[in-house]
């Protein structure tokens, strides 16, 4: 019996390492401490009109999506069709939070690939992105009508995320699906 | 040992990798340009003590983009921004604790290289101690057994 101890130890270790390997991918996606909290305060200009300003208060009343993007961000191009699709459904305001970019580059990007956003907010120095805990664009937050963050997605939004994460949450908020 | 003949293919391969390197060198500026060009001024410190405090703090904070580097080591854009943020908060007179809290509120406990002892980190803190105790117990039992064995052998001899 005692000769089997190394074998059992080996099996136990193999199971442990196997478990670690299977869940290795989870670690890159950090849980956001902001879920369930009020959206961070900001006062930012519009991407196109420096005079127009947006704050969480000016966006409150209905749910909205904060989609952090930049013209230099490759994954933002990858998620562009999914974001466009979500915006075109007309169930939620999709706000483009332009992150560490220039107005010219951002405008050119929107011209070239199409502009899915209902509103454009310009976070030139990335200070608001830090308050949102954005690690790297693209990151997407769903904010409810009361200004509470209910969902966050790191990386490119896929049709699957729209279908299975964002739309069901909107439905639960009582947003009518067309 | 026969000396190896001159191998033209080796040279060939070397030349090819040289070409690759050169191509990469040409691409590099384009890759760098893919990051937004918002220059950050290098941080300045009023005193060596302030600099030491900053560096100690930055070394204890994890860079969230490049997860195995500290905030002090990383050159990622976000790390630069966060270093700037930490520096500014220091200037405004915030304590180290307040600065850490600021980052944890945004990025989670993950930014701390020394996570606090709490419900979900208990295993992390206690497991090494338990393993040490288990090992010590194992060694103790073994010694006890062998001693008993030796004693009984000794008794048989006399």
Subunit contact B35:A72, Cβ cutoff 8 A: yes
Same domain, B125 and B110: no
**Beta-carbon neighbour count of residue A138 at 10 Å?**
25
pLDDT at A175 over 80: no
Higher pLDDT, B129 or B32: B129
Which of A157-166, B18-27, B35-44, B113-122 reaches the highest mean pLDDT?
A: A157-166
Same domain, B103 and B143: no
| Count of domains for chain B | 2
Q: b or e along A2-35 (b: 16 or more beta carbons within 10 Å of the residue's beta carbon)? A: eeeeeeeeeeeeeeeeeeeeeeeeeeeebebebe
pLDDT tens sequence across A48-69: 988 899 999 999 989 999 999 9
| Token output for A25 | 């991918």
Give the distance from residue B52's alpha carbon to the nearest chain A alpha carbon, in angstroms: 24
- The whole-angstrom separation of Cα A136 and Cα A154 is 8
Going from the C-alpha of B112 to that of each of A55, B71, B93, B118, the distances in angstroms are: 30, 10, 21, 13
Same domain, B69 and B107: yes
Judge whether A25 is closer than 8 Å to chain B, CB to CB: no
Same domain, B54 and B82: yes
Overall average pLDDT of the A20-32 stretch: 68
Q: Is residue B16 part of a domain?
A: no
Architecture of domain A31-172: 3-Layer(aba) Sandwich (3.40)
Q: Helix, strand or coil for residue A77? A: helix
Domain span including residue B66: 48-116
pLDDT tens sequence across B89-134: 998 999 999 999 999 888 888 888 887 888 778 888 899 999 999 9
Q: Is residue B6 part of a domain?
A: no
CA dihedral B85, B88, B90, B91 (to 10 degrees): 180
Same domain, B105 and B69: yes
Same domain, B110 and B149: no
pLDDT tens sequence across A37-46: 999 999 999 9
Percentage of the residues of chain B whose pLDDT score is greater than 70: 71
Give the distance from residue A178's alpha carbon to the nearest chain B alpha carbon, in angstroms: 35
Subunit contact A135:B34, Cβ cutoff 8 A: no
Hey, which residues 36-95 in chain A have their CB within 8 Å of chain B?
A: 70, 72, 74
Same domain, B110 and B55: yes
Same domain, B89 and B137: no
Same domain, B112 and B124: no
- The confidence band for A178, taking pLDDT boundaries of 50, 70 and 90, is low
Q: Is residue B74 part of a domain?
A: yes
Q: Is residue B1 part of a domain?
A: no
């Amino acid at each position: 019996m005692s000769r089997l101890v190394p074998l059992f130890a080996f099996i136990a270790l193999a199971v442990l390492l196997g478990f670690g390997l299977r869940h290795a991918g989870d670690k890159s996606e950090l849980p956001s401490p902001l879920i369930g909290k009020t959206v961070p305060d900001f006062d930012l200009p519009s991407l196109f009109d420096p005079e127009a300003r947006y704050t969480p208060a000016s966006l409150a009343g209905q749910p909205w999506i904060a989609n952090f993007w930049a013209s230099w961000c490759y994954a933002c191009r990858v998620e562009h069709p999914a974001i466009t699709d979500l915006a075109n459904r007309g169930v939620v305001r999709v706000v483009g939070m332009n992150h560490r970019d220039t107005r010219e580059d951002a405008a050119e990007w929107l011209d070239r690939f199409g502009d899915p956003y209902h509103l454009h907010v310009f976070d030139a120095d990335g200070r608001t992105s830090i308050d949102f805990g954005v690690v790297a664009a693209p990151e997407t937050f769903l904010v409810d009508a009361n200004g509470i963050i209910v969902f966050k997605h790191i990386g490119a939004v896929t049709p699957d995320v729209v279908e299975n994460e964002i739309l069901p949450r909107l439905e639960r908020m009582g947003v009518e699906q067309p | 040992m026969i000396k190896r003949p001159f191998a033209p293919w080796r040279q060939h391969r070397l030349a090819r990798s040289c070409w690759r390197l050169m191509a990469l060198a040409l691409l590099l500026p384009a890759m760098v340009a893919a990051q937004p060009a918002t220059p950050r001024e290098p941080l300045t410190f009023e005193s060596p003590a302030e600099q030491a405090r900053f560096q100690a703090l930055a070394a204890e904070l994890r860079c969230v983009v490049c997860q195995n580097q500290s905030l002090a080591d990383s050159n990622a854009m976000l790390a630069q921004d966060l270093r700037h943020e930490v520096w500014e908060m220091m200037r405004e007179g915030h304590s180290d604790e307040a600065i850490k809290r600021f980052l944890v509120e945004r990025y989670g406990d993950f930014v701390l290289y020394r996570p606090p002892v709490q419900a979900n980190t208990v295993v992390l803190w206690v497991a090494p101690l338990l393993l040490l105790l288990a090992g010590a117990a194992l060694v103790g039992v073994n010694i006890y057994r062998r001693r008993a064995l030796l004693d009984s052998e000794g008794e048989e001899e006399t």
